[in-house]
Structure 1
Amino acid sequence: MADRLHLPPDDGSSLQVRVAELRRHLLDWWERDGRHHIPWKLHRDGSRPGPGEPLAAYGIWVAEVMLQQTQLAVVLPYWHRWMAAFPALAALAAASEHDVLMLWQGLGYYARARRLHAGARHLVAGAQLSSAGDGDPWPRTLEGWMALPGIGRSTAGSILSSAFDRPFAILDGNAQRVLARLVAHPVPPKRELAGFWRLSETLLDPQRPRAFNQALMDLGAGVCTPRQPACGTCPWQPHCAAYAAGDPGRFPVKDTPPPVPFQVIGVGVVRNEQGQVLIDQRLPEGLLGGLWEFPGGKQEPGEAIEATIRRELREELAIEVTVGEELITLEHAYSHKRLRFVVHLCRWRSGEPQPLASQQVRWVAPEQLSSYPFPAANARIIAALQARIAAG
């Protein structure tokens, strides 16, 4: 099937001519209508780089990791704060995980922050940086970038083309959608990635790879959008097989997604006689690894939520609590599951808290909770607790 992934015929034109037209039309459109103010795609003085002129790889790498699973508008303020706190590779490598996670708080998919941190230490360890941190530890190959945690082929290609104007193709979600529509491919792209990679490599302008890849991403982000694509403004409309078929929104073809599991989580906000709150730090692996949270766990079938909280706190912290009134109920959706958190105020009765299923536990004053990195859902729990305390 991948062998049939090719450009649709157009008046008998040769493939070479068709590719040249596609490149020219896309780049002409991008010069007029592309996103030219993305800070990591510019020099520090705000000027655009010329062909072959390098850009600072550090800021591009940070941005590319942030952009995994997250849109540009959301990433921008986080990127600026990150670059102010960790302006160079050496600063990130020297930072504590606590500070890294605090700066990432609210951006989600926290494993990305831990991978950036680990990648910085890997790069520093493998390069002879000067005391000013101005050495050149940056890879110039796909393999070199993909050796870093969390960097796949498309991210590596985007970094290499953006930072060094090297001719490496990309195949992120935007590119997959644009290419699937261009050829009206009848199979989900993820089933035939090899063919899509060949198509992306064929179309890539080797003379202007940085501009071409950015133009491809901008086309997908602003014109060839998932729903209601603006075909009337698309530079590839005359060449697009999905547009010719009359239903571009039908592409890319998607597999039927599996049902998203739903779980109820009982959470205990445990306080001692001094009014301190008990929190624990998650183990380093997993989606939310290294973050702090209020203890709790999954409700078993037929189990009352109060019983869930008592059992989980006994199993995970070796403590006994009295479960009091409900503080808040909230729902939170991840990419792979939906959760309902049912949160109760609890009073600590006995047992010295132990991190049986976490890195560490800690009693903290409620006003100190903002000093710890929590998952997004816990922010509403903290707000509800502080409101309850303020109300007496």
Structure 2
Amino acid sequence: MAKREKAASAAGARFDGLPDALLDWYGRHARTLPWRIGPGERGRGVVPDPYRVWLAEIMLQQTTVPHAAGYFEAFTRTWPTVEALASAEDGDVMAAWAGLGYYARARNLLKCAREVAARGSWPRTEAGLRELPGIGPYTAGAVAALAFNQRAAAVDGNVDRVFARILAAKGEWKDEKRRIADLVGELVPEDRPGEFAEALMDLGATICTPKRPNCLICPLRAWCAAHAEGEPERYPMKPAKKAKPVRFGEVYIVRGASGVAVETRPSQGLLGGMLGLPTTEWREDGKAGRLDWIEGAQEIGEVKHVFTHFELRLRVLTVESEGALPDGYELRDSGSVADALPSVFRKALKLAS
């Protein structure tokens, strides 16, 4: 208790007792997740597996918990240790990742696993974890706290939202994010940093949600300035998002005797290393042309997909082909290959089914 009170007093008397209130709530309401040990288990000597913690954190970037959970369980069945993942074939991992999006994560996942396997162990500190491929400030803090019980702050979008409301943060968002990170870092208790991080994640995911936060049952409402104002949904006050540019192109379902034509996309660039359907360039002016080796294709509709920095609209065309495919393409059974395709190509294949 004394350690938590000391951490809270360092952040100012206003936040005295906040970590204890949050941890008490977490002990009663913690979510059961496939990568998580239960509340209080650390105190009984249960040690989280850093591989599972890290894998979950990478999967959860820009992905919901329900969507990530199935992938996590499939990954850990196939590659139960970081050494097993490090020795996996690139194509197998990219295929298993298909549908999770943000495919640079999968490439960095392999790089990181191989570096950890080569080292023989995981770095145990936030600074050491930052040196690994694909691990940024949030992931380093999360793994340090959750896996190694280091006093590190794990500040993601959920935590930003919680503390933007607690502070009723009205300043420039970049400045407020730094202020929030500093405050969270001061509040992390020395004796339970992992559970504190998990508690904040759960609070943001289940109570202090983007819309209609359930303030009546929030354990932190006594410290929340936005609740006192009566308008918690006003926060965080982020700059208005710019409209995403729209790119256009064509994608082809080329059917042969034994399936549909696919290629392994170049390792660098968007959807790098993933299986893909034949497609033109994706251009904002829509002047990518057609693939010169495909003749007589019939348009059947359009699919749309939103990437981080742009929206994509692809005309979907189908064609039957009995000739040889260009180098780099092969025929795969359409039923079995669908699961290995990124979402945008799955949409096109489904439209043609």
TM-score by length of 1: 0.80
Match of residue 346, structure 2, among 369, 375, 379? 379
Q: How far has the Cα of 1:238 moved from its partner?
A: 1.4
CA-to-aligned-CA distance 1:214-260 (integer Å, 9 cap, x gap): 11111111111111111111111111111112211111101011111
| Pairing partner for 2:337 from 358, 370, 392 | 370
Distance verdict in 2 for CA 1:16–1:53, change over 3 Å: farther
Check the 8 A contact 1:323/1:344 in 2, yes or no. Answer: no
Structure 1 residues 59-138: aligned runs within 5 Å: 59-127=52-120, 137-138=121-122
C-alpha separation in 2, matches of 1:155 and 1:302: 38
- Any gaps of 5 or more consecutive residues in structure 1? 1-12, 128-136, 355-360, 388-392
- Measured in 1, the distance between the counterparts of 2:70 and 2:176 equals 36
- How far apart, CA to CA, are the structure 2 residues paired with 1:14 and 1:121? 40
Cα drift, residue 54 of structure 1: 2.8
Report the alpha carbon displacement of residue 18 of structure 1 after superposing the two structures with TM: 3.6
Matched, 1:38 2:33: yes
- 1:95-244 alignment runs, 5 A limit: 95-127=88-120, 137-244=121-228
The Cα shift of 1:382 comes to 2.6
CA contact (8 A) 2:152 2:185 kept: yes
Q: Output the amino acid matched with 1:331.
A: K
Post-superposition offset of 1:296: 2.0
- Aligned counterparts of 1:79 and 1:157: Cα–Cα separation in 2: 20
Instruction: Give deviations 1:324-369, integer Å, cap 9, x for gaps.
Output: 2223422122232221211112366999724xxxxxx222144475
The count of corresponding residues between Structure 1 and Structure 2 is 344
Corresponding residue number in structure 1 for 2:15:
19
Shift of 1:289: 0.9
Identical counterparts, % of pairs: 35
Once the two structures are TM-superposed, the CA of residue 138 in structure 1 deviates from its matched residue by 0.9
Q: CA RMSD in A?
A: 2.6
Distance 1:264 1:302, change over 3 A: closer
Change (3 A) 1:353 1:191: farther
Partner secondary structure for residue 108 of structure 1 = coil
Secondary structure in 2 matching 1:41: coil
State the SS of the aligned residue for 1:269: strand
- 1:363-385 alpha-carbon deviations (Å, 9 max, x no partner): 21444752772111212333344
- Distance of aligned partners of 1:17 and 1:139 in 2 relative to their CA distance in 1, 3 Å threshold: same
Partner of 1:282: 265
**SS, match of residue 313 in structure 1:** coil
Name which of structure 1's ranges 361-370 and 174-183 shifts more when overlaid on structure 2. 361-370
CA contact (8 A) 2:245 2:284 kept: no
Q: 1:340 aligns with which of 305, 313, 337?
A: 313
Would the alpha carbon gap of residues 332 and 15 (structure 1) be closer, same or farther in structure 2, given more than 3 Å must change?
Answer: closer
- Residue 248 of structure 2 contacts residue 286 of structure 2 at CA under 8 Å; is this kept in 1? no
Q: Which has the higher Rg, Structure 1 or Structure 2? A: 1
User: Could you tell me whether the CA contact under 8 Å between 1:181 and 1:248 is conserved in 2?
Assistant: yes
Q: Is the CA contact 1:51–1:165 (under 8 Å) kept in the aligned structure 2?
A: no
More deviation, 75-84/331-340? 331-340
Q: 1:353 aligns with which of 314, 323, 326?
A: 326
In the alignment, structure 1 residue 57 sits paired with structure 2 residue 50: yes
Q: CA 1:166–1:313 in structure 2 vs 1: closer, same or farther (change >3 Å)?
A: same
SS in 1 for 2:248: strand
Q: Is 1:327 matched with 2:300?
A: yes
Shift of 1:167: 0.6
Cα distance, 1:84 vs. partner?
A: 0.3
Amino acid at match of 1:313: L
* Local SS of the residue matching 1:363: strand
SS at structure 2 position matched to 1:210: helix
The residue type paired with residue 77 of structure 1 is G
Q: Structure 1 residues 207, 375: CA separation in 2 closer, same or farther (over 3 Å shift)?
A: same
Asked if structure 2 preserves the Cα contact closer than 8 Å seen for 1:326 and 1:345, the reply is yes
Match of 2:4 in 1: none
Instruction: Return the offset for 1:279.
Output: 2.2
Deviations 1:302-331 (CA, angstroms, capped at 9, x unpaired): 86xxxx5xx3423xxxx3x31322234221
Which of the residues 221, 237, 251 maps onto 1:253? 237
Structure 2 unaligned spans of 5+: 1-8
